Amino acid sequence: MKLPAETVARLRPFYEGREVCVTGGAGFIGGHLCDALLSLGASVRVIDDLSNSTLQHLATLIEFEPDRIRFLHASVLDDDALRDACTGAQTVFHLAALGSVPRSLEQPQRTWSVNATGTLRVLEAARTARAQRVVFAASSSAYGDQPQLPKVETQLPRPMSPYAASKVAAEHLLSVWANCYGLSTVSLRYFNVFGPRQNPDSAYAAVIPAFAKSLLGGEAPVVYGDGTQTRDFTFVSNAVLATLLAGAADAKLSGHVVNVATGVGTSVNDLAASLAKLCGMPHVQPVHRAERAGDVKHSVADVAQARELLGYQPLVSLEEGLRETVAWYKRSLAGQRA
């Protein structure tokens, strides 16, 4: 991911020479965040237990920047490793989590332990290390079946799955650590982030990698429900930009919750049609299966708070993001075949 020159000029003075910790930095969004932090001149420590990722991308970064990136293969439930990762870190980006609503229905206790207890431990490690700010990867799933659209941060959360509940609990922890201990914290509610390197092979794959994999393999994508459900699909560069801005913001952030999205809703049927075209299969119709438990009907964000508090403006449109993503899946598939 290449940041535009204007963004670099805006963020480099803050991140150059800065020590940061990224939990979950081997994952999809975490890997893109590490790319951006290194390009801005930061020194990065990553802690990740590789339970949902591999070292492949980070290994390349370590090869090119051995002095500026360090990897700790450990869980955020391991206090000693966390202390090691956070000591000296001025900013902590906490992205480690077990994602996926369906997985959380199958593994509710493990989801709670990693996502909620893990966040508490990260906050304690950051507090002990006297970090200046913790930026947390929260989730749009917090809104659950709130009917009001677009979703605004002032709405009461109505989580519908163990995953969503664990993310809402973690948001509360961030706010309490700000109030009780004066730690600057902010929770970014990411909305359906997608882009290159998102895993299409997992049983819990997100919708865009799952559709791209089916279509590029010559198969019809599977839509759960009638496909009229909407999502605010957010290209990963947009999510990374908001995350970097949240780390650097002058605003006094003390447990604030901020939507990170585009403000545009797209139905899953329209998404399937766009991807079918980009994958060279314009006539393929999706196969519909029963709606899944825990899935929300509509999810579109109000991004005014991100704009006002962080100066965030999405950089990349859905169309452009989908083009880049499909091109990456094509290259990756061709690489696997070669």
Summarize as ranges the residues that interact with ligand NAD (CB under 6 A): 23-24, 26-30, 47-53, 75-77, 95-99, 114, 118, 137, 139, 190, 192-193, 206
User: What single DSSP character describes residue 91?
Assistant: E
Q: Which is nearer to ligand NAD, 43 or 192 (CB)?
A: 192
User: Which residue, judged by CB position, is nearest to ligand NAD in the bound state?
Assistant: 27
Contacts 24+ apart (CB under 8 A), 34-38: 34/58, 34/61, 34/69, 35/1, 35/61, 36/1, 36/3, 36/240, 36/244, 37/244, 38/65, 38/68, 38/69
Least CB distance from residue 9 to ligand NAD, whole Å? 27
**Catalytic one among 163, 190, 312, 329?**
163
Q: Which is nearer to ligand NAD, 161 or 284 (CB)?
A: 161
Whole-Å CA distances, 236 to 36, 63, 86, 138, 227? 11, 23, 25, 15, 23
Contacts 24+ apart (CB under 8 A), 217-220: 218/281, 220/284, 220/285, 220/286, 220/287
Q: Is 329 one of the annotated active-site residues of the chain?
A: no
Surface-to-core class of residue 164, CB atoms within 10 Å of its CB (0-12 exposed, 13-18 middle, 19+ buried): buried
The residue type at 132: Q
Q: Provide DSSP, 43-80.
A: EEEEEE--TT--SHHHHHHHHH-TTTEEEEE--TT-HH
Question: Which residues, in sequence order, are CB contacts of 116 under 8 Å at separation 6+?
Answer: 166, 169, 170, 173
Least CB distance from residue 13 to ligand NAD, whole Å? 27
Least CB distance from residue 53 to ligand NAD, whole Å? 3
Least CB distance from residue 23 to ligand NAD, whole Å? 6
User: How many other C-beta atoms are found inside a 10 Å radius of the C-beta of residue 6?
Assistant: 9
Q: Which is nearer to ligand NAD, 77 or 251 (CB)?
A: 77
Q: Which is nearer to ligand NAD, 18 or 197 (CB)?
A: 197
Least CB distance from residue 145 to ligand NAD, whole Å? 17
Q: Which is nearer to ligand NAD, 258 or 284 (CB)?
A: 258
Catalytic site residues? Answer: 163
